[in-house]
Amino acid sequence: MKRTNRENRLDNDEVWGKTPFILIAWLGFVVLAMFLIIIFYLASPRLFQISEIIGYIIGGIFASILIVIGGGLLLITLTCITGLDLLYPHGKTQITMRILPPFVYLLGSSVLKLNKDKLRESFVAVTNALFWAQAKKNRFSPERILILLPHCIQWHKCPWKITWSIENCQKCGKCPLGTLVDFHKKDGISVYVATGGTVARRVVIESRPTMILAIACPRDLSEGMVDVYPLPVYGILLSRPNGPCFDTHLELDRVFDFIKLFRPDIYEKIVLQEQKTAKAHDREAFSTQE
Ligand code: SF4
């Protein structure tokens, strides 16, 4: 399908940060609260006429919905603003994180006419902020890190099949896989290329990661983050200079920085391995910016 100029421009625009998602979520919460209050106000005389208990139960259910969603949203907002882990319960499913994304996308794209991919980028920024707040408090272990990549990162003319077995990559350096393959099976790190959500879910179940570094486009990344929640996921958005799903780009620096931070014990080994691989394949070695 031919892409419009607007779509191309939006893809190349600056990535949206946390603010749009949080603001729309609060707007949605206010709308929901008003809706429930009006419904209860109109229905309560009849409900209490039927039975006082029914009136109190319905009122209690409405109040609980608002307290759970509003409380969860408040903790998410404060964590994003302060960088302190104020989430509760720790490492458990927070219902707000499951409910919010579809609600915000619906309100943002259908009512406010905002670009859905940009809203997804904003959700990824929120999830990343929550990830760092929890990481600072050592809420999760880097014992088994799963690096999950999309298929479109592979050079489109590459003849090697790398889904499930990234080891088939010949490290020619025409795409980032030539460097990332050296991370695979290094002391608890595994690297997989997934062709879609089903494969990604299977990889997550089989590799039982304690932490995921996911690289994808806004749609796959935001959906994947909700799917595996509450597993900790840090997301890196691909850049798409050739349009969607075709020879996509990844800032390898960010992957190296992530590993350096969480697994400094093997970082140097990987850098050395990359230098050796590059020499053997007569290509430039990837080097991180200090
Ligand atoms: S680096 Fe690996 S996956 Fe990428 S084009 Fe070369 S052989 Fe194919």
Task: Tell me the pLDDT tens digit for each residue of 192-207.
Answer: 998 887 888 889 999 9
The label of the residue with tokens 């990987």 reads: 270
Task: Give the number of the atom of ligand 1 that is nearest the alpha carbon of residue 172.
Answer: 6
Confidence check: pLDDT of 285 > 80: no
Question: Is residue 215, in this structure, part of any structural domain at all?
Answer: yes
The answer to whether residues 10 and 63 belong to one domain is yes
The answer to whether residues 115 and 171 belong to one domain is no
How does DSSP assign 212-260, residue by residue? Answer: EEEEE-HHHHHHHHHHHTTS-EEEEEPB-TT-TTSS-B--HHHHHHHHH
The answer to whether residues 35 and 76 belong to one domain is yes
Residue nearest to atom 3 of ligand 1 (CA): 169
Q: What pLDDT, on the 0 to 100 scale, is given for residue 239?
A: 87
Task: Give the number of the atom of ligand 1 that is nearest the alpha carbon of residue 160.
Answer: 8
Task: Give the number of the atom of ligand 1 that is nearest the alpha carbon of residue 170.
Answer: 7
Q: Give yes or no for residue 122 CB within 6 A of ligand 1.
A: no
Compute the distance from residue 281 Cα to the ligand 1 centre, in Å: 11
Closest C-alpha among 142, 138, 164, 140 to residue 151: 164
pLDDT band, very low/low/confident/very high, at 287 (cuts 50, 70, 90) = low
Q: Give yes or no for residue 168 CB within 6 A of ligand 1.
A: no
The string of pLDDT tens digits covering residues 37-66 is 999 999 999 999 999 999 999 999 999 999
Confidence check: pLDDT of 3 > 80: no
Q: Coil, strand or helix: which one is 99?
A: helix
- The partner residues of 147 in beta bridges, in order of sequence, read 191, 213
The string of pLDDT tens digits covering residues 30-41 is 999 999 999 999
The string of pLDDT tens digits covering residues 161-175 is 998 789 999 988 889
Residue after which a domain boundary falls, among 133, 154, 176: 133
Residue after which a domain boundary falls, among 133, 167, 195: 133
Q: What pLDDT, on the 0 to 100 scale, is given for residue 67?
A: 94
Task: Give the number of the atom of ligand 1 that is nearest the alpha carbon of residue 181.
Answer: 2
Pocket probe for ligand 1: among 153, 156, 160, the residue whose CB has the most ligand atoms within 8 Å is: 160
How many folded domains does the chain comprise?
2
**Whole-prediction pTM value?**
0.87
The string of pLDDT tens digits covering residues 202-231 is 899 999 999 999 999 999 999 999 988 889
Q: Give yes or no for residue 236 CB within 6 A of ligand 1.
A: no
The label of the residue with tokens 């940009």 reads: 118
Q: Give yes or no for residue 207 CB within 6 A of ligand 1.
A: no
Residue 14 domain boundaries: 5-133
